[in-house]
Amino acid sequence: MQLQDILYSQGFGTRRVCAGLVQQGHVAVYQPGVPEPVLCEDSSQDFEEEGLRFRVQGVDWPFKAKAYVMLHKPAGTECSQKPSAYPSVFTLLPAPLRQRPSKSSVQGVQAVGRLDQDTTGLLILTDDGPFIHRLNSPKRHVPKVYDVTAKHEVTPAQIQKLRDGVLLHDENATVRAAACEQTGSHTFRLTLTEGKYHQVKRMVAAAGNRVEGLHRSRIGGMELPGDLAPGQWRWINEDALSLLTTTT
């Protein structure tokens, strides 16, 4: 693939913009056995995409046919590209991830499910539409683990209600936690395998308490890394992707 097409596929702008980056000396490509990238000034030069690494305007990038990243969502942010009241989580990502093309249009990565503006924790973003569908599908029963801080002291009866199932407003059937364990006088860990609107907050309210703090710590078998600070993002390698759809 030509270098300008590679850069375009990775979200660095239109093909004309990408060609300009190359011609202006802003792009260097890593070569086998060479520790530092080699400056490339020919935007039509062909490269094998698999395993390709390059440097654009001083920042190193790996080639990714599809982008999969994790973000430690901070409080006070919205998971929408057009937020209504709070800053968008997408402003925490570099421009190429927001500009990756899809079917001849610029869509960038999308959030796999949403967290409320005051909820923190693990958020997955990708430009792989089928993967988003698989991870969000209630038929796959992918567990999502939340650490909940309650306003009032948590009682064993409330924990049992969440395990047995509670009836939410405007719902015809009870909704139950896949697992629920108390971790402190005002805290507990809740595991869900579906994703209804404001589900955790509504379930806790139906059980007789109120959510004061909410943090998603795990999706499937993937835990939020302890060294990933709020607002930071990280690539998810292909070997780790299978962890996201682990159901046990």
Give the residue numbers annotated as catalytic, written as ranges: 116
Virtual torsion, Cα 124, 125, 128, 133, nearest 10 deg: 50
Cβ contacts of 233 within 8 Å, gap of 6 or more: 69, 70, 71, 72, 92, 93, 97, 125
Token couple for 122:
């693990």
Nearest residue to 54 via CA among 82, 22, 86, 87: 22
Q: Pairing between strand 187-192 and 120-126?
A: unpaired
| CA separation for the pair 3, 72 (Å, rounded) | 32
Phi and psi at residue 157, in whole multiples of 5°?
A: -65, -40
